[in-house]
Chains A and B, each alone.
Chain A
């Protein structure tokens, strides 16, 4: 199994270069916000390991919100971020990026302060990568290659069924399975289909994962005499704060909504990028670190097969700290339109939204960090839209396929790889077709 990794390479845009950068980014697109896969700057088609990728000009429109919390007015120059989700480890990806897209990446990041210039691009990318505080992968180990093979396999099976409808009609499910399996192996033998076996899981990844799964709870347990009182004191302090922290959820200006919506809903999947400043105070900062750490832990060890708690429409998601953990940027790729994505979230995992986002300045009022918050639906939706920023260039490796499609295809393949299915298994399997 090949694990997935997420990269977030960022650098501040050099003074006076933003216009040029935006022109370069727009030039990569087939339609506003949507990458041409063969664009000359970053020819995404040449990578067979990128699931999703995006270029975002990281420019928070809500920076002044800090003043509502008594903080100073802060300013951050806009930054360029190149973010994406890939198969395999990041060093390999950065090397590939340097091999396939060097002129483009040098030109794009050349608009940034301390760009890569003519130096070692892979090393520069690695140095400017910011690891996520928490990240979620819909299905750990499902590679782009696998997604494409599974989709082709599913279409081939549908083709066999359609062409030879009558001969499958009335057959018991195990017989249908056997016959389709035979046809598929014929396709494979003739080279019409490719079904590559999974690569072995890298040993170091397994060890690190195991160490994380065991080590983190163990450390927490050992440190609990110290951590528990701190956690209780912190929770009480945050409880007091959350009752008076100002909410900042005004109506999002229609122009901002229009700018965002203009690149949404062209595919069954959409991208989402949002950012904001954390509420002030060390307690808040460490609470955020702890809660995002908990989400990351759950995503690495529990929610690894198609479901983030009850939500099945997220391909990838992550939270990244910026600027010494004073700001957070959230990126995701999700199925459906934003309204349904937000509704699904509020109704299914409102507690998770609150725990992960309530540290942001202006979040709708929560109760003990878990209740309230997103259940004030209108405020929550305004809050998210207000903090959302446009994604300038977005690439997806498998347009038209939802996470549920991918799961169906994978189940069909798993069934075909079994030499024989029992009655119930076979019935459930043919019902996927």
Chain B
């Protein structure tokens, strides 16, 4: 199948840009109040597309829908039921919660929003220049909107200038989407690459397996005439094409607890605390990785990120420089399909495990199938690590991250990352520990507490920091479908 060229006019802009030049953003969660009005509003919504423009747009509106939202809009069951199972069942299914670590303090029962009975129907993402957000938001959520929808939550964001609330530079490593679909995924099997197939993020295009993921296809008829043709099913129209699955999680960050714990564990010295925190993260606060840059460049890394992103963990197989448990190593192990670039006969033997003899060999799945595009924004005021050592005030504001990830297969991408890598108490060869930043510390079988952090050392028993409390608490979340512009009109009953 020859993949079609991407049509940026049909793609919501946030997939391509992230709109970093628009420093103000607000997320509006709403439920359908009056179906016909809601459909009419969505058909006419001035959603910003991903076409390149100079100057870039002064504001942007993006729209995403939940599965209950599709029902509320009256989308036909046959269309709805063909979306991916994860999207349909939602984030808060009990069996899913167990896998995602949404237990204990993260239990959806205590979330501020999201969850079966309280799921939002629609998410508006409004982006604007500083000072202009209220006006832009008012333009979109005026009387036509409020006739159609009831706003349940308005989530504000803050611009911390590329730093997340704990004080670390964030968003440095992102997959580089192969928009031109110019390189075969197999070329990424042997060398770690930042380049990633379009179909990993945008539905209706080939992914790293050269296949399309789950999305509804409908017969070609008058109603579906506006939709693009399906790539992998002749004669069918593609409701998913140019859409993406959007994972939204509101992650509350206890910045004081984080720095107070690290400060104590580092012996009460702020500089040592910053060094220990950097080991938890895998980067310094400025974003520099703890392992040296590699000689071989990492394909798909833009030049301006080269200084902080041209690295793999190949030179640190035991995790001495950057522990396996560090946040960036858990969330992107930067490995390949085969551990040691085998070729020819060696590759054949490697496929049968002949090269895997060492204790830590080959424990982590190949990263190219488990990547996400992060588009989240922080909320709450900044708090300097030194100030964070003081006790919380009576009116302590909430801080955290509105985590937003785009992917084409929620199960294999976001959920795999969250379950098999971040929340997993037995990631790599570790035991009794979860991600030091975002993990829960709930007990697991055979392991009464999961608050350890292991720092391997050369020729010595590993160092362990024990008793990590939970620093991040999930406050809300839901799975959304971020449709292509034509698909949005189609789902809202439009025919053109």
Contact = CB atoms under 8 A, between A and B. Distances in A.
Interface of A: 161, 168, 172-173, 176, 251-252, 254, 257-258, 261-262, 264-268, 302-303, 307-312, 335-337, 339-340, 343-344, 347-349, 351, 375-378, 381, 398-402, 404-405, 407-408, 411, 426-427, 430-433
Contact of B351 (A251, A258, A265, A309): A309
Interface in B289-334: 318
B209 interface: yes
Contacts of A310: 350-353, 356, 362
B107 to A, nearest CB: 16
26 contacts: A173-B459, A251-B81, A252-B85, A257-B85, A258-B93, A265-B98, A268-B445, A307-B356, A310-B352, A335-B426, A336-B424, A339-B99, A340-B365, A340-B420, A343-B365, A343-B416, A375-B211, A404-B363, A405-B431, A427-B458, A427-B459, A430-B459, A431-B318, A431-B460, A431-B461, A432-B359
A207 B447 CA distance: 41
Residue among B82, B96, B352 with max Cβ neighbours from chain A (10 Å): B352
A266 B350 CA distance: 33
Contacts of A311: 353
B444 A307 contact: no
Contacts of B213: 378
B415 interface: yes
Nearest to A34: B445
B365 A344 contact: yes
B32 to A, nearest CB: 23
Contacts of A173: 459-460
Contact of A405 (B424, B426, B445): B426
Residue among A173, A335, A402 with max Cβ neighbours from chain B (10 Å): A402
B415 to A, nearest CB: 7
Nearest to A173: B459
Contacts, number: 134
Contacts of A427: 458-459
A426 B458 CA distance: 11
B494 interface: no
Nearest to A375: B209
Contacts of B419: 337, 339-340
Contact of B429 (A258, A351, A408): A408
Contacts of B337: 347
A308 B98 CA distance: 28
Interface of B: 81-82, 85, 88-89, 93-96, 98-99, 209, 211, 213-214, 318, 337, 350-353, 356, 359, 362-363, 365-366, 369-370, 409, 411-412, 415-416, 419-420, 424-426, 429, 431, 444-447, 456-462
Contact of A431 (B409, B444, B446, B456): B456
A176 B365 CA distance: 33
Contacts of B81: 251
Contact of B98 (A266, A303, A312, A400): A266
B459 A431 contact: yes
Given A268-B445, A400-B447, A251 B85 contact: yes
Given A176-B460, A405-B431, 20 more contacts: A262-B95, A265-B95, A265-B99, A267-B444, A302-B352, A307-B353, A309-B352, A310-B351, A310-B352, A311-B353, A336-B424, A336-B426, A337-B420, A343-B365, A343-B416, A351-B351, A375-B209, A407-B359, A408-B429, A431-B461
B462 A431 contact: yes
A174 to B, nearest CB: 10
Contacts of B425: 268
A377 B366 CA distance: 15
Contacts of A168: 461
Contacts of A252: 85
A347 B365 contact: yes
Nearest to B421: A340
